[in-house]
Amino acid sequence: MSGESGSGGFGGFGGFGGFGGFGGFGGFGGSSNLGFGGLGPFLGAGADAIYDPVMAQGLEVTEQAITHVADRYPEPVANELGFSTPANMVLWADWVRGSLYITDFLKDLDWRIDEDDRTICLEYGDDTFLNIQRPDMDCFRKQLDFMIAYLDQRPDRTPEILTQVGFPIPYFAMILGLQSAPNRYTFELIAITQVLASHVAMIVKHHLACRRPDRIGAKVMPMIPTPAHGSFPSAHATEAFAVAEVLRGFVKHHKYHYTDFERRLALLSKLAERIAVNRTVAGVHYPIDTWAGAILGRAVGQIVLAKSHAGSRVHGYNYRAVGTKDFFVKEFLEGRNHEFGVADIDVFKVGTSPLFSFLWNKASEEFKLHNGSN
């Protein structure tokens, strides 16, 4: 490999803005409002609102009126919080936890560029999880035929396409029967997986710099605004398949809760395909974008599972896009898709993270059955 080396340390994550809970989700994948903080659904979550001037004045007057009574008692020595313990995470605002998860994940992420071969090699720790080559323009031109064939599905898929422009968390919640109050940490697990997948996808997109379908095919005419970043890989596919991978691991781990777990596993994979293919129907992604995103997303999901102490290993792949192939989740799940340009490389382990273990355990607590069994 030659060229540049990148570091996973993104620096600070300031500028968090406001966020009204897990009901609405912006994201890198669509027109996005992930913001400069890069925290997506965590933007400002858990932060208390600023008091209005009348309330602030009322508090000031009350303080002045009653504070003298505290002087009648001796000054105690304050207790300290535990040093560097994940247990303190419950005390922090959601966006603070989000920032910590991102930093923890990115510190072991790195990449190498080979300008001669036009490839980017993504590494986690000392191991490669994706070596992906930039397709040539002839490959993309062949993909336009698939995109034109998808156009007649737009009327049926329009509601999905428009509501999936940001992070489509409600679609995953539908499959698992999640609710905002009892499943707050499960939503947090989903949200951080999507944010991390977005960050990693943007690294690949930037370096490969592949033009969008409407830039090379006049008949594509996207039905939504074309995002201002590269086409390959699809960030929506990366996010969807990363979440599907994490939730598949989560469901398997909680078979006592989901006795129909095999059905839900199949539904999670099919939903990821549906979300990704909707972007092709909308006219903003080629099928090979989905292939690249799905492979990348699976790896990101496996890394999250491994860091969460879920016993997952990370499977590495080489990907060389084949312009004459469409995307099918059935083929993708087989893992060895040589005719589609996918080749296996090493399988490796990732060490657990106290922060991700905290999140996994808190989410798991939400699925205890209070009937005498776990």
Its pTM stands at: 0.87
* Per-residue pLDDT at 31 exceeds 50: no
Q: Pick the range with the lowest mean pLDDT from 25-29, 38-42, 208-212, 250-254.
A: 25-29
* Per-residue pLDDT at 165 exceeds 80: yes
Q: Are strands 109-114 and 119-124 parallel, antiparallel or unpaired?
A: antiparallel
Residues 258-290 have pLDDT tens digits of: 999 999 999 999 999 999 999 999 999 999 999
Residues 228-265 have pLDDT tens digits of: 999 999 999 999 999 999 999 999 999 899 999 999 99
The CA distance from 28 to 34, in Å, is: 6
The predicted pLDDT at position 48 comes to 79
Q: Which residues contact 3 (CB under 8 A, 6 or more apart)?
A: 112, 113, 114, 115
Structure tokens at 365: 């607590």
The CA distance from 112 to 276, in Å, is: 27
- Listed residue (76, 268, 31) closest to 172, CA to CA: 268
The predicted pLDDT at position 336 comes to 63
Output the CA–CA distances (angstroms, integers) from residue 78 to 7, 74, 118, in the order listed: 41, 12, 59
